[in-house]
Chains A and B, each alone.
Chain A
Amino acid sequence: MAHGTPRNHGGIAAAGRLILRRLGSALLTLLLVSLVVFTISALLPGDAAEETLGQSATPEAVAALRHQMGLDQPAHLRYAHWLGGMIKGDPGQSLVANMPVGQVIAGRLPNSLTLAGLTAAVAIPLALAIGILSALYRDTGLDRALNLMTLGMVAVPEFLVATIAVLVFSVTLRWLPSITVVREGMGWAEMLRGYAMPVMTLACVTVAQMARMTRAAIIDQLNRPYVEMALLKGLSPARVVLVHVLPNAVAPIVNAMALSLSYLLGGAVIVETIFNYPGIASLMVNAVTSRDMPLLQACAMIFCVAYLLLMLAADVCAILANPRLRGQ
């Protein structure tokens, strides 16, 4: 039996192997995701050559362009070509912008990351505070009030939050601009004013999600015997939650954070559109409207990579937080 024998060295190696295995699984998933994305977008009736040349083009011209773009090749070759380009950072030519997709995205990605980063910086501490507070004061008036608040925030569509924010802060109070302009050399104050509403709107939903999952994770632990033991040792409820419960709730909480942050990237679609913000989510909406498939595929893959990275990070955190997996 393994009982009673410390396994320091074997443990660390085991944790490393576990992390490597998760990484491998994430890469496999990414490959399958690319297959799914490519398959769906290649089922399209009509193709990029027709789109580019428009209705009036002669069949010969379309066929020539199709050959030039490699669209007359069998599907698996096109997939291999596309995947190879994606890996090399060259996902093709944007049909609408008429420039490489890589360039189009490079101009937008930093904006999206800034928005997500700012929102995360606001949302995570707030969510943790709300989650821990309501778990600590479980079944009291405070908990019920916080619960109703987060429940409402989870259920409300972003465009309602954004609309009300615009009504209040731009139309009525005239404090904030109703669209967010991003340009070089913005001052701090200007940036803060510009980002306030998009960040607020996005944070609303993510805070609520994270806070609810944090509370649930902590309460799940509160029913365990070691918590009763800690209380019977004469520890204060605050110490029980902070010192005893939190370390055990790290895995589900981090997982909730990762899920919510991945939502931030995709969920920014509506917020970016309303505030006319130049990020990749609004870029993707444009790609859908204009049926710019290479751009759409690239955007979708970026979101999937982000999701898998976040999940991987959460897994690694969970492994490191668990002494059984960490192999103390």
Chain B
Amino acid sequence: MDAAQDHVQVSGLRITAPAAGGQETPIVSDVDFTIPKGQVLALIGESGSGKTSIALALMGYARGDCRIAGGGVRVGDTEILTLDASQLRTVRGNRIAYVAQSAASSFNPSRTIMDQVVETAVGRGLLSRPAAEDKAVGLFRALALPQPEAIGERYVHQLSGGQLQRLMAAMALMTDPELVILDEPTTALDVTTQIDVLRAFKRVVRQQGATALYVSHDLAVVAQVADRIVVLQRGRVREAGDANQVLEKPADIYTRTLMAAARPPAQARPHRPAPQQAPPLLEVRGLTAGYGRVEAGVPKIPVLRDITLSIAKGTTLGVIGESGSGKSTLARVIAGLVAPAGGQVLFQGQPLAPTLSGRTREQFQRIQLVFQNADTALNPAHTVSRILSRPLSFYHGMDGRARDRRVADLLDLTQLPAGLADRRCGELSGGQKQRVNLARALAADPHLILCDEVTSALDTVVGAAILDLLAELRRELDLSYLFISHDISTVRAICDDIAVLYAGQKVEMGPRNGFGDAPFHPYTDLLIGSVPEMRQGWLEEKETAVAPPPLATAQDANLCRFLPRCAARVEGLCDRLPPPRIVLDGGNELLCHHDGQALQHLQRGRQSAINP
């Protein structure tokens, strides 16, 4: 093959989806780009940008009823779009390999991983089964998977998300493909896992000398892996160029919008209420909660252990943690949907009943819950106006014209057009739904809103607008928020205080300023250090975290929950005694055996990723 020629060339690509009345609507129009041999090109865009459709078109595949309507895709010397079904099969999984977004659902749950990894190579007769297994084990090792010889015999449900994502990469690389397509391969992972997976991908793809197409919505992640970047919006190319140029000097206004939204600036704090004698608005004391039978104050499946926190009137407490940390359960306990096994929740100094049946209507009214996914949080059978009217009549006994006026006010307050009132929520966009979701909470006239990952399901730009709205509402209505998120930059942008949860334990809490510079709790340190920065070379500069050796003994429930992953643990201390609560100079309260100085020493020289 001519070395000077680009390895992959996409020209005039058009993909259409069927629309009402037998028409077709374009979802990808006139997309051109090229990838030189051995380079990584990133396709960047929000949902509906057509990035995945383009990636799949490189394998001659269109999802569902979509259709590749025109244009050309050349990989090496092969015109992909002219191949018939059986020729395509010889290309897929062989010369071109695919790594899907969610490995957990992309592996077959009832076959072993090894069966699936070697399937194509053995089925095509490229390798014998033993040779293929040897090669797979080698790849497992190269991808830093634990127990590379044995891990292939497991099933999906026995492996973690990060492991599965790496196993899927191994599956893709089995046939030494010339082109690897990675479709949001780290999006479903926790941020602390993402960094290791990214590093493993980057190393192995480079070793193999493969050309790669990396699909993502996250510019900072892309900055770590891409040589070239193509920015897409609604199926069209907005900007294309060298990664360096696009990241440093974006030419297109849309690219700049994306970059601005990806890292929200800290909201100016309106006021810090003077320390009051009055009790805080919400106080959680020694809360333990979970599922299953409660024995000796501990549920069978504990989710939260001994959580204590408080929210003053007019302030925002951010709760951050990765999946499984118990942060959503915290909101449900406060709302009364899950009864705690131990501890107390006080609202305005009054203890709240553990279950719904013991609470007063006034208490219900003052605490409102807003869920992450507006698709499931709004009843599809009801109109917007009915959704907003219910709390008005339920709490305030409003009806008739007064209620209609208030509904119009609420729509206005959440910056929604008044004409939306008669629509059902299935007819609204994602951002509009989330605004209705918020408006419903506001209709109650609450003092405290529990926001559970309210921006996570939204595109960055839309999510940033919701954050702006939340800040504005707080200023106007003197609201308090419990803001739950997995994203530290979002939390730092809008919260006054931050609590960090790890596996149900509150490992650190303090004012936002305390999260600017070391020392932190070792987990907070890992969390902050794992957020990629939007510049090239960050991944390389980042020193490889040394994974601590596995624990010798089974973990005791009373010990530090972070122990198995903690690089700073002290043998003989951390694995024997429960960690004490210490208070740092900056005001942060930690659950750790180290003191501030020791942590400072351990984390010295490591700059925080983003200054608030």
Do A and B come into direct contact in the complex, CB within 8 Å?
Answer: yes
Q: Which residues of A contact B (CB under 8 A)?
A: 1-7, 224-226, 228-236, 239, 243-244, 247-248, 321-324, 328
Given known A6-B154, A328-B155, contact A235–B89 (CB-CB < 8 A): yes
Taking CB as reference atom, which chain B residue is nearest A223? B64
Taking CB as reference atom, which chain A residue is nearest B104? A225
Q: Which of B18-26, B92-100, B468-476, B508-516 contacts A (4 or more CB under 8 A)?
A: B92-100
User: Shortest distance in angstroms between B530's beta carbon and chain A's nearest beta carbon?
Assistant: 19
Residues of B within 8 Å of A328, CB to CB, are 112, 154-155, 158
Q: Does B393 contact A (CB under 8 A)?
A: no
Taking CB as reference atom, which chain B residue is nearest A245? B108
A-B contact pairs, 10 of them (CB 8 A): A3-B160, A225-B106, A226-B106, A229-B100, A232-B56, A232-B61, A234-B120, A235-B123, A239-B123, A244-B111
Q: Is the pair A235, B111 in contact by a Cβ cutoff of 8 Å?
A: no
Interface centre among A2, A225, A248 (most CB of B within 10 A): A225
Interface centre among A7, A233, A235, A243 (most CB of B within 10 A): A233
Q: Is the pair A323, B155 in contact by a Cβ cutoff of 8 Å?
A: yes
Chain B, residues 156-169, CB within 8 Å of chain A (1/0): the string is 01111001000000
Q: Which residues of B contact A (CB under 8 A)?
A: 56, 59, 61, 63, 88-94, 97-98, 100, 102, 105-112, 119-120, 123-124, 146, 150, 153-155, 157-160, 163, 171, 324
User: Shortest distance in angstroms between A204's beta carbon and chain B's nearest beta carbon?
Assistant: 32
Q: Is the pair B157, A234 in contact by a Cβ cutoff of 8 Å?
A: no
Interface centre among B59, B94, B109, B150 (most CB of A within 10 A): B109
Known: A3-B159, A228-B100. 13 other contacts (CB 8 A): A1-B324, A4-B160, A6-B154, A6-B158, A7-B158, A232-B61, A235-B119, A239-B123, A243-B111, A247-B108, A323-B109, A323-B157, A324-B157
Residues of B within 8 Å of A322, CB to CB, are 110
Interface centre among A1, A5, A228, A321 (most CB of B within 10 A): A228
Residues of A within 8 Å of B94, CB to CB, are 234
Q: Is the pair B61, A230 in contact by a Cβ cutoff of 8 Å?
A: no
How far is it, in angstroms, between the C-alpha of A236 and the C-alpha of B92 when the chains are bound?
Answer: 11
Q: Is the pair B119, A4 in contact by a Cβ cutoff of 8 Å?
A: no
How far is it, in angstroms, between the C-alpha of A328 and the C-alpha of B157 when the chains are bound?
Answer: 10
Partner of B98, one of A4, A5, A229: A229
Given known A5-B158, A234-B91, contact A226–B98 (CB-CB < 8 A): no
> How many residue pairs at the A-B interface have CB separations less than 8 Å?
90
Q: Is the pair A234, B90 in contact by a Cβ cutoff of 8 Å?
A: yes
Interface centre among B89, B102, B163 (most CB of A within 10 A): B89
Q: Is the pair B158, A234 in contact by a Cβ cutoff of 8 Å?
A: no
Partner of A231, one of B61, B90, B146: B61
Interface centre among B88, B111, B171, B324 (most CB of A within 10 A): B111
Residues of A within 8 Å of B154, CB to CB, are 6, 328
User: Shortest distance in angstroms between A222's beta carbon and chain B's nearest beta carbon?
Assistant: 12
Interface centre among A224, A226, A228, A230 (most CB of B within 10 A): A226
Residues of A within 8 Å of B91, CB to CB, are 234
User: Shortest distance in angstroms between B263's beta carbon and chain A's nearest beta carbon?
Assistant: 31
How far is it, in angstroms, between the C-alpha of A238 and the C-alpha of B109 when the chains are bound?
Answer: 19
User: Shortest distance in angstroms between B117's beta carbon and chain A's nearest beta carbon?
Assistant: 10
Interface centre among A1, A4, A7, A236 (most CB of B within 10 A): A4
Interface centre among A3, A236, A322 (most CB of B within 10 A): A3
Taking CB as reference atom, which chain B residue is nearest A229? B106
Residues of A within 8 Å of B108, CB to CB, are 226, 230, 244, 247-248
How far is it, in angstroms, between the C-alpha of A50 and the C-alpha of B135 when the chains are bound?
Answer: 83
Residues of B within 8 Å of A224, CB to CB, are 105
Q: Is the pair A229, B107 in contact by a Cβ cutoff of 8 Å?
A: yes
User: Shortest distance in angstroms between A193's beta carbon and chain B's nearest beta carbon?
Assistant: 44
Taking CB as reference atom, which chain A residue is nearest B101? A225
Residues of B within 8 Å of A233, CB to CB, are 92-93, 97-98, 119-120, 171
Q: Which 4 A-B pairs have the closest CB atoms?
A: A233-B93, A234-B92, A234-B93, A229-B106
Given known A225-B102, A229-B106, A324-B109, contact A235–B155 (CB-CB < 8 A): no
User: Shortest distance in angstroms between B84's beta carbon and chain A's nearest beta carbon?
Assistant: 13
Given known A225-B102, A229-B98, A235-B120, contact A321–B110 (CB-CB < 8 A): yes
Taking CB as reference atom, which chain B residue is nearest A227? B108
How far is it, in angstroms, between the C-alpha of A6 and the C-alpha of B109 when the chains are bound?
Answer: 15
Residues of B within 8 Å of A248, CB to CB, are 108-110
Partner of A232, one of B93, B107, B150: B93
Residues of A within 8 Å of B102, CB to CB, are 225
